[in-house]
Each structure stands twice: as structure tokens, then as C-alpha cells.
């Protein structure tokens, strides 16, 4: 580490610890007293009534906003005409005159939130390009409230207004840990034909990042075989003093080759033109996006950063016209001139079809019962059994699973233990001291060979680690997942309170599978991809040490589902536990009772071929000042509008729930008789956030 890098790390640490954190702690207001709607001040009520009498139908969405949304010109369309133009210049040309907004627009919109008329909804409908789809009334009410924020500030939307209302399809969802999301992203990268735009809040050298860097090397190899070059744009937010002078600064190769980021060198990816940008708006304007756009045909939007953690995360894969909206947002976020230009600048997704659904193998993912072929969990919506929304059955804290009495009779590898066995001897409740010792001994032996948990190839020294951790906390606000592991610091196994550690290798295959995989490179026939069998033909798991890329989503689903299926000697819960703890807690054994076959875990949730549906692109731009002046934006208003206009129930899942405007709306919804379910993590990240 050079003297300059050391000085930069120290300065970064001090700025975050002694300037940003104290200032924000002293200036950001805490939760205000909650005032019911029927107890508003007399002054506010009188003012509201006066304005209501003057209001005209359709006046909520102003002529200015209507004109902006129905225009044919966007940042993307200007760059299609001139790829050398900087997106920031294109934005200024189109919307620079609307930056200040109208002074009274915010108060006006808020006063009329509950009086949306059919004329207002029609005007909102006209402000979107919905294709063959028809948005619902609830959708239009939420979209209407998002559009009203544009009068106050067009820049808040972070996408060209004509692209805010769109449509698309969703071939795949992922609900799992970070490695499963990275597996899908890596597959999309290696299948890229022209370009990749990847944006993340925080990039950290890790197992997660290695999925991407491995895919970049493989993509370069494939492009070389085709005689082509790929344009790869990577944007992240790693707070730096340089951003005081330039919010969007290009990261030189020398910097991104460092231990903390560890991207491939140019000679390792000779057929990729890589450009890296570090974007942050000081002091607190975090670039919080997590998305990827490939060839302007495929887009993924996910919850996780590119770093290792043990959180449950989510991802959606999108195709169709909505990809153009994400592409436009990516251009605006990049802001500067693209060098080289993006190859797909004149190839909008709206003209490209729905690639995944055009693959005839997509619907063949499902068998006649609606389950993934070769497996038992029913995922096809037309075959799924009706279930109560958000139903909850109280059960013992150490028994999060539930096995129906009629589900299993005899225990075996495929179905797990019988109901009686799972009740009398729950998994992980062994009291055998010898079993515990054997488990510890096994994980210690396997730990010497373990190359999966966290990335240890380029470890940081103490001062580097401190600076990296401070930067991570300041950028992500997450104090839970910041520690790097050094080779010299062997991790002790974490023991569950009532359970034993795995008796088999924690890194995956048993001896029989290992022998199967060690016979050289295994060629997987397409028939096995289309009709996988977890019990007869094992698809090798796609890992950073042993990559296995697939041709399409069907292949990916088959491979991941095989990975969470029991191998010889495993129960379903043991297989799932092994898979989920792949990176952060290898060898940790769960103590949940085994599940019924039809309730097996499905990290990848494929969706059958369906018609496009309406999608609204609602964002908020990074805001640097430590105050609440930016809270009126499309993203926030959609959340609040959903609670105001809900007619049955609302489901919220978030690690923290501390947004000041949100809590009163939750209470108001409950008082209206709406069932509001909040799945939050009390105590999560309390060093940075407050519930």
C-alpha cells in the first residue's frame, strides 16, 4: 500500500467517523409525534378546504408533467442519435429548465392525496406507455401520486419521464442467499453478446464478487472465440475524498486491481472494454441501486450488494419494454460520456422481443403437475393450492418447519423422516456428545480445504481492514457484514444450541459424488437439463471454484434445484442448510424438522410464459445534504400511496423500518381496517439504524 493510499484511507476513515456520522446524528430529526388524520390543526384544515374549493378536475397532474411524460424524446433517444453525447448533457438539454420545480406543487399534491378523481386516473393512464396492458385502479392511484412529485423536481425520478410507465415480463425470481443471486448474474454475463451494465451500492472483494470476475473472464474467452469485443460498464459507491470534487469519478485500473476490489486486469479480459465508475454525492448521497442490464434485453433488479453476507436476499429478472427504462436510468446514473459508446444505443428492448419466453424449453421447466421437473414443489400458479394470505400458525421456536401428518409415512432420502420420527427426534436434537465431537472434528478437517467461505486470496492488513470497514459502514449503513477473514485466523465452527454438526463433508459432495465429479469435465446432455433428476443424475453445483454455466434459465433452475435436493445420506433440511451456509457459515447444521416433499425449498422460482403486465419505474436520486428535503420523491410517494389506497392488506418486508413518514401511514391503514404485515429484523444493524 503506497503512502498516498494509506493517507487516503485514513482521511476517509476520519471523515466518516468524525464528520458525517456525528453531523447526521445531530441534525436528522427523530420520529415525530403521531397525529391522527382527524386531529389535524385548524389552520391546516381550513387551508385544505379553501384549496379544495378551487381545485379543478385533472389539475393534480399538471400540464407540464403531462407534456414531459407524453414526449417522444428521452435521454436514451438522444444518445441513439449521438452516442458520443454525455447522458448528463442529454438530461440537461431535455429537463434542465425544470430542475427548480414549482414552489407550491408539493403542498398542493399532498393536500389532495385522498381526492383523486376518475379524470386524474385517466391523466395518469395517458402518462405511461403500457403497450397491450391495462393498469388497475390501485396501480394508477399509486402511479398518479408518483407523477405529482415531478412538479417539485424532475431530477428526482432518475429516469426520462416518458419511460416511467411501462410494461414487461418476469421469467424468474430468486429468493435465497447472495451466492444464488450471483449465480444467475454470472450466467447472464457469460451469455452477453454486446454489453453489460452492472451497478451496485457496494462492491467488496468476496466470494460474491468472484462469481462476477470469473464470469468476466469466461465472457472474454467466449467473445474472443467469436471475434467480438464486449463493452462492460461497472458502477459502484465506495466513498472516497475524490468525490468531493467529482461525484462521478472514473476508477483507474491501478485502483480497482487493489485488494479491496480485485477486478480482473486488462490482460486477463483482453476482449472486454471495462470502464469502472465510483459514484457518491457527499455527504450522505449514497448510490443505492443494485441492478444489471445485459444487451438491453435482460435486466435484473436485486436487493443485495456485491459482498458476502448471510442475509436472505431477493432478485427479479425482467424482460420487455421495462428494460429500456432501466437502461435509461443506467445512462442517467453514469452521467458522463461513455468511452467506448454502448453498442446497443440504437437497439431498444421494446423491439427485441421476450428472449426467455421465445425459448421453447422455458415452459418445459414444469411437469404436468406444475412442479419443477424431477422435483416435488409445485410452482406453476395454475397448479398451486389455494393458501391463506400471510397465515401464521404458532409453533415452537426450534420448529420453524411444519410437516402435515398425511404428507409422509416412511422416512427415506427423498422424503425425509416420517412424521412421528420428526416429532420425537427433531433434526439437530441429538444429545450424543460423541456426535458433537465428531461434527467439530469433521468441520475442522474440512475447514483446512474449504475454499468457499469468504474470499481469502487477497487479505487486507489491519489498517486496510479498518479503512475498508469504515467505508462499508458509511456507504451501505450495514454494520453487520464488514469483517474480512485472514488466512491466519482460522474460524471456529459455530455450534447450534441443540444440534450436531454435519457428519459429511461441509463443502458439498459425498465420496460417491466426488468420484463422479473427478472423472474429468462432465458434459451435461440437454435432455438432463430439460428433465433433471436429483436422485439419478447429479448436476454439479455452480461455484466460484468450479464454475458451471448454463444456456438458459431452464438449465439454471435445474442445476440450483439439484443443489438443494438431498444427496446420499442427507435429509432435505440438511441439503438446504448446506446450500444456504455455503459462504458465511459452512458446516452449520440447522435444527428444523424436515419438510414435506411438496414444500421443498425453491431458491429459483421460474414463472411460466405470461403476457406483459404494467410496471412503473419509481426511483429517488442520491441526496447528499443531511436533511429531509428530498423525501418527496416518486419512490417514497408510491410506498405511502400504497398504504393510503390499500383495500385489503399490505405486506412489508424490510430489515429496518424507521422512515418517519411511513409509520403514521401504517397506523392510519390499520385504523381503516387494513391488515398490515411487517416482517422486519428487530435489532438488526442497531449500531447504525434505529427502529
Give the pLDDT confidence of 95-137 residue by residue, as tens digits: 986 655 555 566 666 666 667 899 999 999 999 999 999 999 9
421-461 pLDDT, tens digit each:
332 333 344 444 444 344 444 444 344 334 444 544 456 66
Q: What is the pLDDT of residue 446?
A: 43
**Beta bridge partners of residue 302, listed in sequence order:** 315
Confidence of residue 528 (pLDDT cuts 50, 70, 90): very low
3-52 pLDDT, tens digit each:
665 676 567 656 656 765 565 555 544 444 444 444 433 334 333 433 43
pTM attached to this predicted model:
0.76
Q: What is the pLDDT of residue 281?
A: 79
Q: What is the pLDDT of residue 57?
A: 39
407-423 pLDDT, tens digit each:
433 333 333 333 333 32
Confidence check: pLDDT of 180 > 70: yes
CA distance 162 to 78: 13
Query: What average pLDDT does this structure show over 359-368?
Result: 88
166-353, CATH topology level: Endonuclease; Chain A (3.30.870)
Q: What is the pLDDT of residue 64?
A: 92
Q: What is the pLDDT of residue 199?
A: 95
Confidence check: pLDDT of 621 > 60: yes
Q: What interhelical angle do 137-148 and 634-645 show, nearest 10?
A: 140
How far the first Cα of the chain sits from its last, in Å, is 39
Q: What is the pLDDT of residue 459?
A: 60
SS3 sequence, 493-518? CCCCCCCCCCCCCCCCCCHHHHHHHC
On whether the CB atoms of residues 617 and 327 are closer than 8 A, the answer is no
Provide CB contacts within 8 A for 226, sequence distance 6+. none
Q: What is the pLDDT of residue 279?
A: 84
On whether the CB atoms of residues 323 and 293 are closer than 8 A, the answer is yes
510-520 pLDDT, tens digit each:
454 445 444 44
Task: Kindly report the average pLDDT of the chain as a whole number.
Answer: 77
Q: What is the pLDDT of residue 355?
A: 86
CA distance 676 to 662: 12
**With pLDDT > 70 as the criterion, what percentage of the chain qualifies?**
65
Q: What is the pLDDT of residue 464?
A: 66
Q: What is the pLDDT of residue 122?
A: 96
Higher-confidence residue: 309 or 269? 269
Q: What is the pLDDT of residue 173?
A: 98
Q: Give the range among 155-164, 223-232, 580-589 with minimum mean pLDDT.
A: 580-589
Highest mean pLDDT among 208-217, 249-258, 436-445: 208-217
Domain boundaries, the chain: 166-353, 363-450+491-602, 646-691
Amino acid at each position: 500500500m503506497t503512502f498516498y493510499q494509506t493517507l487516503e484511507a485514513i482521511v476517509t476513515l476520519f471523515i466518516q467517523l468524525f464528520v458525517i456520522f456525528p453531523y447526521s446524528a445531530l441534525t436528522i430529526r427523530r420520529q415525530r409525534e403521531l397525529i391522527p388524520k382527524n386531529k389535524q390543526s385548524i389552520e391546516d384544515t381550513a387551508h385544505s378546504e379553501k384549496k379544495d374549493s378551487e381545485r379543478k378536475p385533472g389539475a393534480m397532474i399538471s400540464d407540464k408533467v403531462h407534456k414531459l411524460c407524453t414526449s417522444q424524446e428521452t435521454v436514451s433517444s438522444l444518445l441513439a442519435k449521438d452516442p458520443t453525447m454525455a447522458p448528463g448533457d442529454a438530461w440537461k438539454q431535455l429537463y434542465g429548465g425544470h430542475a427548480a420545480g414549482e414552489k407550491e406543487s408539493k403542498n398542493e399534491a399532498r393536500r389532495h392525496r385522498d381526492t383523486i378523481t376518475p379524470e386524474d386516473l385517466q391523466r395518469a393512464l395517458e402518462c405511461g406507455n403500457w403497450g397491450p396492458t391495462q393498469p388497475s385502479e390501485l396501480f394508477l392511484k399509486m402511479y398518479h401520486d408518483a407523477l405529482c412529485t415531478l412538479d417539485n423536481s424532475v431530477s428526482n425520478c432518475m429516469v426520462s419521464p416518458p419511460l416511467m410507465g411501462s410494461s414487461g415480463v418476469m421469467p424468474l425470481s430468486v429468493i435465497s442467499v447472495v451466492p444464488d443471486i450471483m449465480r444467475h448474474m454470472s450466467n447472464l454475463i457469460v451469455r452477453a453478446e454486446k454489453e453489460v451494465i452492472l451497478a451496485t451500492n457496494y462492491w467488496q472483494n468476496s466470494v460474491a464478487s468472484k462469481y462476477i470476475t470469473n464470469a468476466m473472464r469466461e465472457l472474454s474467452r467466449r467473445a474472443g472465440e467469436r471475434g467480438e469485443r464486449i463493452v462492460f460498464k461497472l458502477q459502484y459507491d465506495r466513498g472516497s475524498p475524490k468525490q468531493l470534487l467529482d461525484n462521478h469519478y472514473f476508477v483507474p485500473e491501478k485502483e480497482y486491481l487493489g485488494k479491496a476490489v480485485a477486478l480482473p486486469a486488462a490482460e486477463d479480459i483482453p476482449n472486454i472494454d471495462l470502464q469502472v465508475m465510483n459514484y457518491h454525492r457527499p455527504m450522505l448521497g449514497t448510490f443505492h441501486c443494485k441492478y444489471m442490464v445485459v444487451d438491453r434485453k435482460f435486466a435484473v433488479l436485486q436487493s443485495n450488494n456485491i459482498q458476502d453476507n448471510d442475509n436472505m436476499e431477493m432478485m427479479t429478472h425482467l424482460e420487455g419494454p421495462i428494460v429500456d427504462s432501466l437502461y435509461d436510468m443506467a445512462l442517467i446514473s453514469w452521467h458522463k460520456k461513455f468511452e467506448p459508446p454502448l453498442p446497443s444505443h440504437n437497439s431498444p428492448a421494446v423491439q427485441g422481443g421476450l428472449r426467455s419466453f421465445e425459448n421453447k424449453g422455458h415452459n418445459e421447466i414444469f411437469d404436468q403437475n406444475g412442479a419443477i421437473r424431477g422435483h416435488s414443489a409445485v410452482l406453476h400458479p395454475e397448479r398451486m393450492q389455494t393458501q391463506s394470505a400471510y397465515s401464521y400458525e404458532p409453533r415452537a421456536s426450534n420448529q420453524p418447519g411444519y410437516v402435515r401428518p398425511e404428507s409422509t409415512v416412511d422416512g427415506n432420502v427423498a422424503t425425509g423422516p416420517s412424521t412421528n420420527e420428526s416429532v420425537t427426534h427433531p433434526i439437530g436434537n441429538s444429545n450424543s456428545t460423541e456426535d458433537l465431537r465428531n461434527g467439530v472434528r469433521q468441520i475442522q478437517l474440512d475447514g483446512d480445504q474449504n475454499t468457499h467461505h469468504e474470499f481469502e486470496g487477497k487479505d487486507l492488513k489491519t489498517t486496510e481492514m479498518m479503512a475498508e470497514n469504515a467505508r462499508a459502514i458509511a456507504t451501505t449503513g450495514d454494520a453487520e457484514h464488514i469483517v474480512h477473514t485472514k488466512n491466519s485466523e482460522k474460524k471456529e465452527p459455530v455450534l447450534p444450541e441443540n444440534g450436531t454438526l454435519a457428519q459429511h463433508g461441509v463443502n458439498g459432495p459425498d465420496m460417491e459424488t466426488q468420484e463422479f465429479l473427478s472423472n474429468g469435465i462432465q458434459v451435461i446432455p440437454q435432455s438432463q437439463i430439460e428433465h433433471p433428476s436429483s436422485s439419478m443424475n447429479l448436476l454439479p453445483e455452480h461455484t466460484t471454484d468450479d464454475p458451471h454455466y448454463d444456456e438458459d434459465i431452464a438449465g439454471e433452475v435445474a442445476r440450483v434445484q439439484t443443489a438443494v435436493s438431498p444427496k446420499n445420506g442427507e435429509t432435505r433440511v440438511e441439503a438446504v442448510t448446506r446450500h444456504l451456509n455455503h459462504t458465511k457459515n459452512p458446516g452449520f447444521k440447522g435444527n428444523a424438522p424436515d419438510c414435506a416433499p411438496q414444500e421443498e425449498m425453491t431458491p429459483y422460482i421460474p414463472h411460466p410464459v405470461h403476457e406483459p403486465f404494467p410496471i412503473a419505474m419509481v426511483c429517488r436520486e442520491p441526496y447528499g445534504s443531511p436533511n429531509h428535503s428530498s423525501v418527496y420523491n416518486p419512490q417514497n410517494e408510491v410506498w405511502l400511496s400504497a398504504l393510503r389506497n390499500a383495500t385489503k392488506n399490505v405486506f412489508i418486508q424490510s430489515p429496518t423500518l424507521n422512515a418517519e413518514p411511513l409509520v403514521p401511514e401504517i397506523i392510519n391503514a390499520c385504523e381503516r381496517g387494513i391488515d398490515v404485515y411487517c416482517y422486519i429484523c428487530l435489532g438488526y444493524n442497531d449500531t447504525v439504524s434505529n427502529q
